[in-house]
Amino acid sequence: MLDDANVLKQRDPQDALGVAANQWQQVKFDVKVVDGEQSGEVITKVVVAGMGGSALAALLAKAWLSEKLKVSFEVVRDYDLPAYVDSSTLVIASSYSGNTEETLACLEQAQKCSAQVGVLAAGGKLVQSAEEGKIARVVIPSGMQPRMAMLFNLRALILLLSHFGVVETSLLDEIGEASDWLQDETKNWLSDVPTEKNPAKQLALESVGKTPVFYGGRLTGPVAYKWKISWNENAKNVAVWNVYPEMNHNEFVGWASHPVDKPFIVFDILSSFEHPRILKRFEISDRLLSGLRPKAVPVHLVGDTPLRQLLWGCIFADFASIYVAILNGVDPTPVDLVEKLKNELAQ
């Protein structure tokens, strides 16, 4: 089925595969800050307010820059900012649509707290508020699903962080320099690559009809979360995720009872740059759970830097989950339930 061009076209009418195939171009997006004047006060704390795919880039940045950030960095996925937000806090309100009510609430609170504020969106009320208030902002291209615009979001986020002096501008170059390499890697997953040579199609066939459980570590946790998002929204498939070492302190025991023939497929998202003790935990946990759960399928992230491995893992997740959507007989692009929920909340 996955090698039949007619089936792919019929079940992917909005060409989600084409969008995924072009994601490598996003890392070269020419980002610009508008209304960039700032108070000049030293920033000691960063809070990124966003939901779902719009929070993902911040989680990825936090993992990537964990050894470079000299300030606290928190990602808020809720209606309220932490009580510590003040004039030495940078609050970045991130919403692809620009209309996410939780993020808009956080923007309003940030202004009341006299925080330094940046906005990241493709349009909507968030950009309108930023224009009216002369708030520093980066506007990214519109017309996509937020989960498929994550690399736009990451590049814009790093620009805002560098604009406010939190990180070096050279990080933007590191992102952009990955473009040609990502393009070459993406070619392995394209729709015209037959299943026997296509790892994304193979993984989809292995996991269709099951509930995937994605495990990451300190570095790869955001990638595991991205895989969950992709399965939820592309494949319309329930999925869960967790991270080591926390998994060993609770969920680990949860696998220990009931028949091994559980309706799950387990994926370990692995990086050569991960903490060695965490890699050891992956190995021992799979061995100790042998016969108690399905054996974990390792996903070894590819790339010669932590950033490249993270980006590679995110794009691979979209391809594999889109192929699962096609096998599930669902359109990968729309998220109708989310839109219905927003309409209900707006009434």
Is there a contact between 94 and 67 (Cβ–Cβ < 8 Å)?
no
Q: What are phi and psi of 278, to 5 degrees?
A: -70, -40
Q: Which amino acid is at 154?
A: L
User: Could you report the per-residue pLDDT of 207-258, keeping only the tens digit for each?
Assistant: 999 999 999 999 999 999 999 999 999 999 999 999 999 999 999 999 998 7
Q: Which of 9, 187, 258, 342 is catalytic?
A: 342
Portion of the chain with pLDDT greater than 90, in percent: 92
pTM over cut 0.85 = yes
DSSP string, 282-335: HHHHHHHTBTTBPPPEEEE---SSHHHHHHHHHHHHHHHHHHHHHHHT--SS--
Average pLDDT score over the chain: 95
What is the distance between the terminal CA atoms of the chain, rounded to a whole angstrom? 42
Task: Sort strands 89-95 and 136-139 into parallel, antiparallel or unpaired.
Answer: unpaired
> What CA–CA distance (Å, rounded) separates 252 from 254?
5
User: Would you state the pLDDT for residue 39?
Assistant: 75
User: Would you state the pLDDT for residue 260?
Assistant: 65
User: Would you state the pLDDT for residue 160?
Assistant: 96
User: Is 25-176 in the same CATH topology as 5-12+179-328?
Assistant: yes
Q: Does domain 5-12+179-328 have CATH number 1.10.357.10?
A: no
| 342 catalytically annotated | yes
Write down the domain spans for the chain. 5-12+179-328, 25-176
| 233 catalytically annotated | yes
Task: Sort strands 45-49 and 72-76 into parallel, antiparallel or unpaired.
Answer: parallel
DSSP string, 113-170: TT-EEEEEESSHHHHHHHHHHT-EEEEPP-SS-GGGGHHHHHHHHHHHHHHTTSS-TH
Kindly list the distances between the CA atom of residue 297 and the CA atoms of 17, 87, 191, 259, in Å, as whole numbers in the listed order: 23, 47, 23, 19
Q: Which of 45, 102, 226, 233 is catalytic?
A: 233
| 174 catalytically annotated | no
The CATH code belonging to domain 25-176 is: 3.40.50.10490
Q: Which of 37, 67, 249, 344 is catalytic?
A: 249
User: Would you state the pLDDT for residue 342?
Assistant: 85
User: Would you state the pLDDT for residue 168?
Assistant: 95
Q: What are phi and psi of 48, to 5 degrees?
A: -105, 120
- In the chain, which stretches have pLDDT less than 70? 259-261
User: Would you state the pLDDT for residue 40?
Assistant: 79
CA nearest neighbour of 151 among 25, 12, 10: 25
